[in-house]
Amino acid sequence: MLYRALPKTGDRLSILGFGAMRLPQKKGRIDEPRATAQIRMAIDRGINYIDAAMPYHAGACEPFLGRALSDGYREKVRLATKLPHWDVVASRADMDALLRVQLQNLNTDRIDYYLLHQLGLPDWLRLERLGIVDFLNCAKADGLIGNAGFSFHASYDEFAALVDAYDWEFCQIQYNYLDEQHQAGTRGLRYAASRGLGVIVMEPLRGGNLAKMPPEIKAFFDEAEQRRSAAEWSLRWIWNHPEVTCVLSGMNDEAHIEENLKIADEAQPDSLTPTELEIISCVVTAYRKLMKVGCTGCRYCMPCPAGVAIPECFDAYNAQLWGNKIEGLFRYLFMVARPLRDCGDAYASRCTQCGECEKKCPQHIEIRAHLKDVAARFEGLKLRLLIRLMRLIMGFKRRKNLKRGRALLP
């Protein structure tokens, strides 16, 4: 296993982290014996970073890890989890209460890497008014958390503002060869590193899609001297960036864990050859041609005066490329509908057809026409039901956790 140090602290993290959001399941629940064996095997082989969050596995992830990391495994890893700061966190005391619940869930007295979950600039501004800076500073001073960071899925401008908003030790971004210009992107990765933040990468395979190899893509990889799986190409491309500290993989299959561990023994920064980088660049171009809308995510079209999240709409629409219909809907739910966020929705149907965006799009995309297709594809009954269900479940769970946390406060 290779390790890379966090710039501000020198803490050495394994370049492969274990993401606990897609643990193996049996009858709709975490398959505890199998998931425990997988995590312990990964730790025995050198992984020292485990990433959790309160909502993962409908709230079962943190308590599971509390059990899985017994027998001395807790001491061998840096444990990361995230503050679900959305709608029900209405005061500084609520933050304290949720942290207490998470410590109890994880059966630990300290969370090594604590993130504000899926933070956007409007969320930060609200949390700032509620006392988040004091909360983070006090939690650190009291030894309840080690390092403070945030996970992120919005635009580069928001990302840069957030990086500068607090003295973070690290951040977590979505990054892979198709997302160079999407969300924080390469610009964000470099900016965070230039400000001394460690960067944890999530979605290295875009939810597993980049591990698949459509024939049009395979043709390019077949030209390479080295035979590699599509997953290996994706992971090596990310680790080729020296600014990346650790890559999270949501692993639940023994063969995949084995493959990832093997790659993580070798993937040095700046180790891909110009020819290999050229192959990946051809793969990206080929993917763009396969996509329904050839949007690169550059965001030159933004902001839209009507509030449409144009690149996010197309990102969800393009998810159909991998033949997984539900994935596009979920991307639309989280990135465009945003039912739990402070910034409100950014639906394609908000488009007033003003045409301003099309004048700025370097790809000359017929944005207005495509947005009509996007709205027709996603903004139906299924989305409305999903939003209602999500609000109901998440609201209920968080209120329950807050009640439990308040009872734990001194």
Distance in angstroms (rounded) separating the CA atoms of residues 58 and 64: 12
Residue 361 touches ligand SF4, criterion: CB under 6 A? yes
With CB under 6 A as the contact rule, which of the stretches 37-45, 48-56, 159-167, 291-299 interacts with ligand SF4? 291-299
Residue 357 touches ligand SF4, criterion: CB under 6 A? yes
Residue 299 touches ligand SF4, criterion: CB under 6 A? yes
With CB under 6 A as the contact rule, which of the stretches 10-18, 69-77, 267-275, 363-371 interacts with ligand SF4? 363-371
Nearer to ligand SF4, 360 or 400 (CB): 360
Which segments of 211-323 are extended strands (E)?
Answer: 246-249
Q: Which of 304, 336, 340, 374 binds ligand SF4 (CB under 6 A)?
A: 304
What secondary structure letter does DSSP report for 90? -
Least Å from the CB of residue 134 to ligand SF4: 37
> Cβ contacts of residue 330 below 8 Å, gap of 6+?
none
With CB under 6 A as the contact rule, which of the stretches 63-71, 220-228, 241-249, 346-354 interacts with ligand SF4? 346-354
Distance in angstroms (rounded) separating the CA atoms of residues 132 and 113: 16
With CB under 6 A as the contact rule, which of the stretches 117-125, 150-158, 223-231, 296-304 interacts with ligand SF4? 296-304
Q: Which of 363, 384, 389, 399 binds ligand SF4 (CB under 6 A)?
A: 363
Residues 359 and 301: beta-carbon distance below 8 Å: no
Residue 337 touches ligand SF4, criterion: CB under 6 A? no
Residues 63 and 105: beta-carbon distance below 8 Å: yes
Place of tokens 């996509």: 291
Residue 310 touches ligand SF4, criterion: CB under 6 A? yes
Residue 297 touches ligand SF4, criterion: CB under 6 A? yes
- What are the structure tokens assigned to 284, written together? 């990206």
Residues 164 and 148: beta-carbon distance below 8 Å: no
Residues 6 and 147: beta-carbon distance below 8 Å: yes
Distance in angstroms (rounded) separating the CA atoms of residues 103 and 109: 6
Nearer to ligand SF4, 37 or 361 (CB): 361
> Cβ contacts of residue 335 below 8 Å, gap of 6+?
153, 309, 312, 315, 316
Count of residues of this chain found to bind ligand SF4 when the rule CB under 6 A is applied: 27
Query: Cis omega (within 30 of 0) on the bond before 63?
Result: no
Radius of gyration of the chain (CA): 21
With CB under 6 A as the contact rule, which of the stretches 24-32, 75-83, 96-104, 345-353 interacts with ligand SF4? 345-353
Contacting positions for ligand SF4 (CB under 6 A): 295-301, 304-306, 308, 310-311, 351-357, 360-361, 363, 365, 367-368, 371
